[in-house]
Amino acid sequence: MSPCSRRLGAGVLAAGLIAPLPALSHAALIEAEAVQAIRLQALYDTGEPMAGAQVVIFAPGAPAEAWGRGSTDAEGRFVFVPGPEEGRWTVQVRQAGHGAMAHVETGAAAPVSVASAAAPGWADRAVTIALVAWGALGTALFAMRGRRRSDASS
């Protein structure tokens, strides 16, 4: 945990200890840490974003099984934090009968992007997935601890 996120966590903890709690409130613990994430953008060859497209992620150790799923945002972007497995992470993006794959290597070597390619002049909407970023993103992890009525009133 970075010094900054440590300070944030400590501050939240301190606030929880000092502030009076309503009888039915919940105690909250927020831990923040910086993690490395892969951010992609999926576009049609017209430049139009693939907004709301289906995303399936495949991990290096089990490339035939879906490791995670999601969908792109309005700009065709998708961010995910890969697991600890080093190797080739594959992302498949599909929408309305069009699809493409992208591959990102993780590990000792710097990440390598192999984006899908689209030849100009194709007669349909070819798809391009490009690696936009590989880097540290601040992510807050929320841990909610419920308080029973007896705990709250004690």
Partner 1 sequence: MRRLLVAAAVAALAPLTATAGSLTLFASGEDLATEGFAAPKLTRDGWALEFTRILATFDRITAFQTDPPFMADGPAIAGTAVALAGPFTVDLVDADARDLVELATVHAPEGHFNALAWALVPATGGEAAGYSLVLEGIARRDGQEVAFALATADSVMHACGEYVGDARKGFVTAGGAAELEITLHLDHLFGRADKPADDPMNLDAPGFAPFASGGRHALSLDGLHLGHVGEGHCHVTML
Question: Binding residues for partner 1, per CB under 8 A?
Answer: 44, 46, 58, 63-64, 92, 94, 96-101, 103, 114-119, 121-127
As given in the structure block, the two tokens for residue 71 are: 């969908």
Does residue 61 sit in helix, strand or coil? Answer: coil
- Which residue number, 77 or 98, has a Cβ lying nearer to partner 1? 98
- Please say whether the beta carbons of 36 and 105 come within 8 A: no
- Which residue number, 113 or 139, has a Cβ lying nearer to partner 1? 113
- Which residue number, 33 or 105, has a Cβ lying nearer to partner 1? 105
- Please give the sequence-ordered ranges of beta strands (E in DSSP) within the chain, or none if there are none: 27-44, 54-58, 66-71, 77-80, 87-95, 98-106, 113-114, 127-145
Q: How far is the CB of 124 from partner 1 (least distance, A)?
A: 5
- Please say whether the beta carbons of 29 and 20 come within 8 A: no
The residue written with tokens 């010094």 in the block is 3
Q: How far is the CB of 121 from partner 1 (least distance, A)?
A: 8
Q: How far is the CB of 71 from partner 1 (least distance, A)?
A: 16
Query: 107: which DSSP letter?
Result: S
- Which residue number, 63 or 107, has a Cβ lying nearer to partner 1? 63
Q: How far is the CB of 51 from partner 1 (least distance, A)?
A: 14
